[in-house]
Amino acid sequence: MKIDPYVNVDAGTMNPVEHGEVFVLSDGLETDQDLGNYERFLNMDLPSVNYMTTGSIYLSVIAKERALEYKGKNVEVVPDIPNAVIEQIDRAVAKANADAVVVEVGGTLGEYQNILFLEAYRILKTRNPKSSVFVLVSYLPIQNGGELKSKPTQYAIRTANSAGIQPDFIIARAAVPIDRMRKEKIAFNCGIRPQDVISAPDVESIYEIPLNFEKDGLSDSLLEKLNLPKGSRDMKEWTTFVNKVKNAKKTVKVAIVGKYFSAGNFVLTDAYISVIEAVKQACAWQGFKPEFTWLDSSDFEGKGAGARLKELQKQDGVIVPGGFGTRAIEGKINVVQYCRENKIPYLGLCYGMQLMVVEYARHVAGLKGAHTTEVDEKTGHPVIDIMPEQKEILKGNNFGATMRLGNYPAKIKKGTVAYAAYKKESVVERHRHRYEVNPEYIEQIEKAGLVFSAASPDRRLMEMAELPKSKHPFFLGTQAHPELISRPLDPHPLFMAFIKASGAKNR
Ligand code: GLN
């Protein structure tokens, strides 16, 4: 479970530059990107009860109050908010088919805004002393290659103590592994056993992390403290995957063309974390190491765009991921055109598929000025248009949690690139969009050569578009977000096919 301290009810209305990717659960809840990491590591779908925010908790308490469920009592921040948090944790535990549930509170100890969640933790531990443990993740800085500094961790422990919480474990995040001497020092100062200081050094691949935890015996100690029987564990498959990541030799150059990268002087890739992980996974299974290039789509429009487009020749494959709004969209369309004309493998995700249709309509199907109504409401050829039910929703400014969200089925046409990738007709993918391929243009666009290789079972919504293999090594877009369900031990077929095409040099 993830607890996010912000007041937003979910992550759906947040700009990705502010908060990173919006991860969509199978049941449609728009959550923080951490849920994506949980699903990738656990190799399971998580239900929406596993996510809460300050906003969602207050909303539920207020709704209960309005429904007279507190029976005329004073409703107070304490204990009613922590109690609502605990009730949701209980519901998630009841729903989980698991022996233990990890509940992460986001943010940092000492922050004003997560104090009520810590209060919930304190109450939980008092209620279930034998079946709850606290794990503090703490950063240990090393200054200029000198001594490891444990003072911030000691201070964090004091802060936890003042909230009534004594951590059972410290996950010691640091650039390097923590040696025995430092573990003893931290343990002595923080009131825990040295073996409960778990070293969490920087790693080449995040998928190594569970293996590192095992080296320090974390699961044995956890089982002991949770009074659970010593289980057997099988890390074979996971280890095999990690070795594939580490031993991959051939490189494949993948460009991601987005617009949510820059934040001041930093280039942040958090907005595309699932896309990046899906590429890494598909690469590992095929012996490739990905070499990523982050390209800002605004660089591909206006002055100097032509020269920059030519630079795309250096790439083995290009991805245009999901996005919203009008900014830097012509740049993305120019990238799509360049990849199509120069036979550079291209994967379009959601907006990346819609813009592929726009580009094809404009430059091949002869629909001059074709566009998505998201950008140009008055276009003469609205080849991508808002779904009728979405029009109604937006009349009332109901932006939160109202897109076409979560799992929807699609039927794939046999003999297509999509079918060759999935090797089956019926698939289910996660979605997050308001716009769709306008049914009125399908025939015209298909006549011009673009194939709509998958659609909703009622064929109302186009789910995938592609060029046949005879025309292009890989030019495929999907209305869904396949990146959200790609897992280390179960890489996504579309990413596998895209990497295969990208890795095939001399195309
Ligand atoms: N903006 C587009 C839509 O709403 C695409 C959304 C996306 O890429 N997730 O349909």
Q: What is the pLDDT of residues 140-165, one digit of tens each?
A: 999 887 888 999 999 999 999 999 99
Give the distance from CA 93 to its chain's centroid.
23
Atom of ligand 1 nearest to the CA of 352: 8
DSSP state of 483: G
pLDDT at residue number 270: 86
Nearest in space to 316 (alpha carbons), one of 496, 130, 501: 501
Task: Round to whole Å and give the CA distance between 29 and 46.
Answer: 10
**Nearest of 173, 192, 194 to residue 183 by alpha carbon:** 194
CA separation, residue 146 to residues 73, 140, 176, 181, 200 (Å): 58, 12, 12, 15, 18
| CB 387 within 8 Å of CB 365 | no
Is the pLDDT at 256 greater than 60, yes or no?
yes
Per-residue pLDDT averaged across 242-251, rounded?
96
Strands in 154-287 per DSSP E:
169-174, 197-201, 250-258, 262-263, 266-267
**Continuous segment of H or E residues that includes residue 409:** strand 404-412
Q: Residue 395: its pLDDT value, please?
A: 84
Cis amide bond preceding 457, omega within 30: no
Q: Are 271 and 21 in contact (CB under 8 A)?
A: yes
Nearest CA to ligand 1 atom 9: 322
* CA–CA dist 250, 44 (Å, integer): 30
pLDDT tens for each residue of 293-306: 999 999 999 999 99
Minimal-distance CA residue to ligand 1 atom 7: 322
What average pLDDT does range 26-46 have in this prediction?
A: 96
CB-CB contact of 251 with 279 (8 Å): no
Question: If you measure from the C-alpha of residue 431 to the centroid of ligand 1, how many angstroms do you get, rounded to a whole number?
Answer: 9
Selection from 41, 429, 215 nearest residue 421 by Cα: 429
Q: Would you say residue 266 has pLDDT above 80?
A: no
For the chain, the structural domain boundaries read 2-239, 248-384+437-452+462-504
What pLDDT score was predicted for residue 17? 82
Superfamily of domain 248-384+437-452+462-504 in the CATH hierarchy: Class I glutamine amidotransferase (GATase) domain (3.40.50.880)
* Of residues 208, 180, 311, 202, the one with CA closest to residue 257: 311
Taking the C-alpha atoms of residue 498 and residue 494, their distance in angstroms, rounded to an integer, is 6
Which residue has its alpha carbon closest to ligand 1 atom 6?
433
Closest ligand 1 atom to 374 CA: 1
CA of 323 to the centre of ligand 1 (A): 6
Domain 2-239, what fold? Rossmann fold (3.40.50)
DSSP state of 229: -
Tell how far the Cα of 432 is from the centroid of ligand 1, in angstroms.
6
> What's the token pair of residue 78?
């304490």
Question: What confidence tens digit (pLDDT) does each residue in 305-361 have?
Answer: 999 999 999 999 999 999 999 999 999 999 999 999 999 999 999 999 999 999 999
What DSSP string describes 96-139?
A: --SS----EEPS-TT-GGGHHHHHHHHHHHHH-TTT---EEEEE
Q: What is the largest CA-CA distance in the chain?
A: 75
Residues with CB under 6 A from ligand 1: 322-324, 350-351, 374, 432-435
Give, for ligand 1, the residue of 356, 429, 432 to mutate: max count of ligand atoms closer than 8 Å to Cβ.
432
Q: Whose CA is nearest to atom 3 of ligand 1?
A: 433
Average pLDDT of the segment spanning 487-502: 98
Q: What is the pTM of this model?
A: 0.96
Q: Which of 350, 377, 430 to mutate to test the pocket of ligand 1 (most atoms within 8 A of CB)?
A: 350
User: Distance of alpha carbon 43 from its chain centroid, rounded?
Assistant: 14
Can 2-239 and 248-384+437-452+462-504 be said to share one CATH topology? yes
How many alpha carbons fall within 13 Å on the CB side of residue 11?
A: 28
Look up residue 261 and give its amino acid: F
Contact 7, 53 (CB under 8 A): yes
Report residue 314 CA to chain centroid gap: 27
Q: At what angle do helices 77-95 and 115-127 cross, to 10 degrees?
A: 60
Q: Which atom of ligand 1 is nearest to the CA of 325?
A: 1
How far is the C-alpha of 220 from the C-alpha of 226, rounded, in Å? 10
Distance 403 CA to ligand 1 centre (A): 9
Q: Output the residue whose Cα is nearest ligand 1's atom 5.
A: 351
> Which atom of ligand 1 lies nearest, measured to the CA of 435?
10
pLDDT on residue 507: 54
Distance CA 280, CA 103 (A): 27
**H or E stretch including 478?**
strand 475-478
Provide the annotated active-site residues. Answer: 350, 481, 483
- Among the atoms of ligand 1, which is closest to the Cα of residue 324? 1
- Would you say residue 362 has pLDDT above 60? yes
Q: Which of 374, 385, 389, 437 has most ligand 1 atoms within 8 Å of its beta carbon, as the pocket-test mutant?
A: 374
Whole-number Å distance between alpha carbons of 355 and 340: 12
As a whole-number percent, the residues of the chain with pLDDT over 70 amount to 99
Residue 130, classed as helix, strand or coil, is: coil
What's the 85 CA to ligand 1 centre distance in angstroms? 32
C-alpha 4 chain-centroid distance: 15
Over the Cα atoms of the chain, what is R_g? 25
Cα 325 to ligand 1 centroid, rounded to whole Å: 8
Q: Which helix (H) or strand (E) element contains residue 431?
A: strand 426-433
Q: Kindly report the number of other CB atoms within 10 A of residue 289's CB atom.
A: 15
Lowest mean pLDDT among 53-57, 430-434, 466-470, 501-505: 501-505
What pLDDT sits at residue 506? 54
Angle between helices 273-285 and 236-247 (to 10 degrees): 90
The span from the CA of 101 to the CA of 83, in Å, is: 18
Q: How far apart are CA 55 and CA 19, in angstroms?
A: 16
- Ligand 1: distance of its center to the CA of 59 in Å? 27
Q: Which of 260, 238, 316 is nearest to 498 (CA)?
A: 316
CA distance 180 to 44: 35
Q: Which of 13, 257, 399, 434 to mutate to test the pocket of ligand 1 (most atoms within 8 A of CB)?
A: 434
